[in-house]
Amino acid sequence: MTTNTPAGLSQAAVTPLSTLDPAAPLDDLTWLDEAIGDARVVAIGESAHYNREFHELRHRLLRYLAERHGFSAYVMETGFTEGRRADAWVLGGEDHLGEVMAHGLTSLMGLWRQLGAHLEWMRRHNATAARPVRFYGVDLGGQNASLLPALDAVLAYLAHADPGFQPDPALRDTAASFAATSAFTAPAALAAYVQLPPEQQNALTAGLAALAARLKGRRLDHVRHSTPQQYEDALRIASQLITLESAIRAMAGGDVQSAMYNRDAEMADTVEWILRRQDRVVLAAHNGHLQRWPGELPGMGPMTPLGLHLADRLGDDYLAIGTTAGTGHILNSDAAAFQSGTLFAPMEAPRPGSLDALMHASHAGPFAADLRRLPPADADAVRAATVYRTGLGEHYAPISAMDAFDVVVHLPRVTGADPDEVAVACSPEEVREVFSRYKPAVT
């Protein structure tokens, strides 16, 4: 009896990765030398958040790019405002690592041992490096639901740089009425915003716009009372604050597509802001943000992701490494199960005809395929794989991988990352409660 096994890429297209261990020798990554060329932004995707193997892959690739190519920033899909706390720690600050992981990263991104190990490596590296590796968040922050972190940062800056200014206290009071302290309270925050009277929502929009305009218009005055860097940080935070408020307003009206359009465009602006300060950066985010191809979520039409913006603005200076996975466990898309502590769910085998299935049939271990250097038959096989797994349950989205990515890294099996007990203990009560029920998936 025979079974139909999907054909994979030829071995000429496969570059095996000997290990995902971040501390292991890096000689199996020399293929990156030719792949990255002179790119200033090397983006490394993931199929889903909170997987051990994606953390380890990105840690390892950052080590290589920092040690061999002088990359000087790690830019992660987490809040820009909050990320400044993680940056201060990797530069040698006195903060407590557990607090940094719990509050210096957003949307549960920091609560994993593998992420803590990554930050610890950055701190050790920076202690002796001629040029430190900085940490930046690129996302809107506040769990993408709360204005308070960014608003408080802007108000604190103005209190210092614009001491005669008295902001309307109603602005912060309104923002506090729908605050979110974690990903678990973000849905309730959005629901609370929906309940605000329209005139209060409109007053919030106008008040935030006035704050941003004051910052922009009084730059010279503000710089005299602070520093150019402090001013530029505050201006970037204010821009993200305005975009986050517009995204919340759109989501409250059921327009998720516009919220995603605005979010990714703002993230692209933040990457450009970072590039004015750093020569070469590693950008870590979900595949759906990094791809040079319209992004789609379940029930939503196509939108322009971060990767399309950066490709348009940077050209060959932007290199996108997508990832696929075969089996294992990924983020649970069942919201009720997720909140009950079942954070990860089993993955089915990749759908036939998908990019994931093609890659999974190509090699038994982790490997990379440079899509720009494929033999013709392999390039045709990649073109024939017209969907890929998004990591949102068993949802598959349209993709033209040859256009979306420069390189694809396949991981044959992925597992849930390990919760960091200290970081969880430093987290808000609702996070501690959910993680107290957490049980690792059986592998």
**Model confidence at 5, in pLDDT bands (50, 70, 90)?**
very low
Q: Across residues 247-255, what is the average pLDDT?
A: 96
d(C-alpha 441, C-alpha 443), whole Å = 6
pLDDT for position 300: 84
Tens-digit pLDDT profile for residues 376-430: 999 999 999 999 999 887 899 999 999 999 999 999 999 999 999 999 999 999 9
pLDDT at 157: 98
Section 23-48 average pLDDT = 96
| CA-to-CA separations, 367 to 37, 282, 312, 378, 410, in angstroms, rounded | 19, 19, 28, 15, 6
How high is the mean pLDDT of the chain?
96
Percent of the chain at pLDDT > 90 equals: 93
Tens of pLDDT, residue by residue over 148-179, are 999 999 999 999 999 999 999 999 999 999 99
d(CA 282, CA 383): 27
| Per-residue confidence band for 6, with pLDDT thresholds at 50, 70 and 90 | low
pLDDT in tens, 311-323: 999 999 999 999 9
Look at residue 4 in the predicted model and tell me its pLDDT: 44
At 443 the pLDDT is: 59
DSSP string, 369-410: EEGGG--HHHHHHHHH--EEE-SSTT-EEE--HHHH-SEEEE
Residue 304 has a pLDDT of: 98
pLDDT in tens, 57-103: 999 999 999 999 999 999 999 999 999 999 999 999 999 999 999 99
Band the pLDDT of 441: cuts 50, 70, 90: confident
pLDDT for 2 beyond 60 = no
Residue 3 has pLDDT above 60, yes or no: no
Domain with CATH 3.40.1660.10 in the chain: 11-143+261-436
344: pLDDT confidence band, cut at 50, 70 and 90? very high
| Region of 341 on the Ramachandran plot (φ > 0 left; ψ -120 to 50 alpha; else beta) | left
Helix, strand, coil content of the chain in percent (nearest 5):
50, 15, 35
Domain 11-143+261-436 has CATH 3.40.1660.10: yes
